[in-house]
């Protein structure tokens, strides 16, 4: 009944973590300089050599890596290890442009799985648990990462992958799954399906690890109530390894970053200036232990805030807030910044389910914003005569949140397609 992975580093003092980061960063910069000509050229262009980097204080001297660099260097240009040492690739979905392919040596896979094991331990997983992994398996990192972490913890691992909801529910009830790993939108869908089928009494879930997309606190509450569990957030990205870069503990006030592997910074996305801890800005990561895909100062595009406030769980690892949306997910409508998460917050606060779609278009040279919102069966049957009033109320609440007018259309239950992975919320017709 012992937790598998709870190394000292999670509760080490700031000075201890900093010393570890200094040492690893110096080694990593040398590794990259010697093995990644693409990045070496970027360093040379900035007049920086490995000798200039003596520790974390010198991090700002290094050049950034952006998604454009990854595309330019695709597929092998940022490889930091001999191909014969690489044992795995994972990849992003590549919906906007070329796919990003990340490489792993055996050691890289091992450390990634350790990070996921930490996340599982933080939600209470032990070798007594049955862990249902309903993230997609394959090129997406969700399935592979949590699967490996669950093995390390010693939980019985159900490699379900995403989709096939009937089978998910059958295994969940027959095998008594206690931990569920999937995207929050799929968790909401599973919860909805459990209630429809009257299975609520037959599930034994106690915790869920949900990430890979933005989700609001209200959505967390809905999932927790629907499934009778505690719902934890987990963050990561393919470029930096996958899930487990950061994870939530029982305090649920942000995610602890595994900073013995990934050094975070917050920058102003426009000026690239490094901002002090506590400021809101773009999250940047430097990988200090990865060998095959050792990205330094990678700009994630995720907007968040870092915090070193003491955590009641005892972990000292720095925390990141929930990403408030990606800077490239942010819509600019009539010159105003609109994050889908703001719209979701309004809908859930007003008692609507998290099934919605945002449609942006341009008519007569002016942007239009429309939100399709699905009603619950109860709202639908109880308020048929009142739809216009309900729509008006939502228009007003959205105006208060966003500062601009959004047309609202309430639609019947089950009209908006459900997601088994990351939900597709935005249709921007201006780009079509």
> Which of 154, 264, 323, 421 touches ligand DLL (CB under 6 A)?
323
Name the residue whose CB lies closest to ligand DLL. 211
Alpha-carbon distance of 2 to 315, in angstroms, equals: 18
For 97: left if phi > 0, alpha if psi spans -120 to 50, otherwise beta; the answer is left
Rg of the chain over Cα atoms, rounded to whole angstroms, equals 22
- Strand order through the sheet with 426-428: 407-411, 366-374, 356-363, 426-428
Is 238 among the residues that bind ligand DLL (CB under 6 A)?
Answer: yes
Is 289 among the residues that bind ligand DLL (CB under 6 A)?
Answer: no
- Region near ligand DLL per CB under 6 A, out of 159-167, 170-178, 200-208, 210-218: 210-218
Alpha-carbon distance of 118 to 13, in angstroms, equals: 18
> Which of 12, 48, 80, 92 touches ligand DLL (CB under 6 A)?
92
Residue 428 bridge partners (DSSP): 360
For 238, the enclosing helix (H) or strand (E) is none
Is 254 among the residues that bind ligand DLL (CB under 6 A)?
Answer: no
Is 235 among the residues that bind ligand DLL (CB under 6 A)?
Answer: yes
- Could you tell me which of 296, 289, 237 has the C-alpha nearest to residue 64? 296
Site for ligand DLL in 117-146 (CB under 6 A): 135, 141-142
> Which of 220, 315, 322, 425 touches ligand DLL (CB under 6 A)?
322
39/135 with CB nearer ligand DLL: 135
Is 104 among the residues that bind ligand DLL (CB under 6 A)?
Answer: no
Three-state secondary-structure class, residue 186: helix
Is 243 among the residues that bind ligand DLL (CB under 6 A)?
Answer: yes
Is 161 among the residues that bind ligand DLL (CB under 6 A)?
Answer: no
State the nearest-atom distance from the C-beta of 109 to ligand DLL, in Å.
15
Is 242 among the residues that bind ligand DLL (CB under 6 A)?
Answer: yes
Alpha-carbon distance of 272 to 320, in angstroms, equals: 19
State the nearest-atom distance from the C-beta of 208 to ligand DLL, in Å.
11
State the nearest-atom distance from the C-beta of 178 to ligand DLL, in Å.
19
> Which of 59, 144, 214, 266 touches ligand DLL (CB under 6 A)?
214
Is 371 among the residues that bind ligand DLL (CB under 6 A)?
Answer: no
Alpha-carbon distance of 151 to 20, in angstroms, equals: 27
Residue 326 bridge partners (DSSP): 302
State the nearest-atom distance from the C-beta of 276 to ligand DLL, in Å.
23
Alpha-carbon distance of 150 to 157, in angstroms, equals: 6
Residue 181 bridge partners (DSSP): 133, 209
Tell me the CB-side half-sphere exposure of residue 262, using CA atoms within 13 A.
32
Residues in touch with ligand DLL (CB under 6 A): 92, 135, 141-142, 211-214, 233-238, 242-243, 300, 302, 322-323, 326
């Amino acid at each position: 009944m012992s937790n598998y992975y709870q190394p000292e580093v999670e509760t080490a003092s700031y000075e201890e973590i900093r010393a570890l980061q200094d040492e690893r960063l110096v080694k990593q910069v040398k590794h990259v300089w010697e093995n990644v000509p693409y990045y070496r050229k970027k360093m040379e262009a900035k007049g920086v050599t490995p000798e200039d980097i003596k520790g974390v204080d010198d991090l700002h001297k290094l050049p950034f890596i952006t998604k454009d660099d990854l595309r330019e260097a695709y597929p092998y240009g940022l490889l930091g290890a001999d191909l014969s040492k690489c044992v795995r690739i994972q990849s992003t979905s590549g919906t906007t442009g070329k796919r990003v392919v990340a490489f792993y040596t055996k050691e890289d896979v091992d450390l990634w799985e350790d990070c996921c094991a930490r996340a599982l331990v933080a939600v209470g997983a032990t070798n007594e648990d049955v862990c249902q992994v309903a993230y997609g398996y394959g090129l997406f990192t969700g399935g592979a990462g949590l699967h490996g972490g669950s093995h390390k913890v010693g939980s019985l691992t159900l490699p379900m992958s995403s989709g096939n909801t009937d089978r998910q529910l059958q295994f969940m009830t027959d095998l008594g799954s206690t931990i569920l790993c999937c995207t929050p939108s799929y968790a909401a869908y599973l919860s909805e399906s459990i209630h429809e089928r009257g299975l609520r009494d037959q599930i034994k879930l106690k915790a869920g690890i949900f990430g890979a997309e933005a989700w609001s606190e209200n959505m967390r509450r809905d999932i927790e109530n629907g499934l009778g569990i505690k719902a934890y957030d987990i963050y990561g990205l393919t470029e930096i390894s996958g899930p487990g870069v950061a994870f939530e503990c029982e305090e649920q006030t942000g995610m602890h970053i595994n900073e013995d592997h990934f050094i975070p910074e917050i920058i102003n996305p426009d000026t690239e200036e490094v901002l002090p801890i506590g400021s809101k800005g773009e999250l940047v990561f430097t990988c200090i232990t990865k060998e095959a895909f050792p990205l330094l100062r990678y700009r994630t595009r995720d907007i968040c805030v870092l915090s070193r406030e003491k955590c009641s769980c005892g972990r000292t690892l720095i925390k990141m807030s929930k990403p408030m949306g990606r800077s490239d997910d942010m819509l600019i409508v009539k010159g105003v910044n609109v994050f889908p998460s703001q719209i979701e917050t309004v809908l859930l606060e007003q008692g609507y389910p998290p099934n919605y779609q945002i449609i942006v278009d341009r008519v007569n040279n002016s942007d239009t914003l429309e939100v399709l919102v699905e009603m619950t069966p109860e709202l639908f049957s109880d308020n048929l005569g009142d739809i216009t009033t309900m729509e008006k109320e939502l228009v007003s609440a959205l105006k208060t949140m966003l500062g601009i007018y959004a047309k609202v259309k309430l639609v019947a239950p089950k009209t908006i397609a459900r997601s088994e992975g990351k939900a597709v919320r935005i249709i921007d017709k201006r780009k079509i």
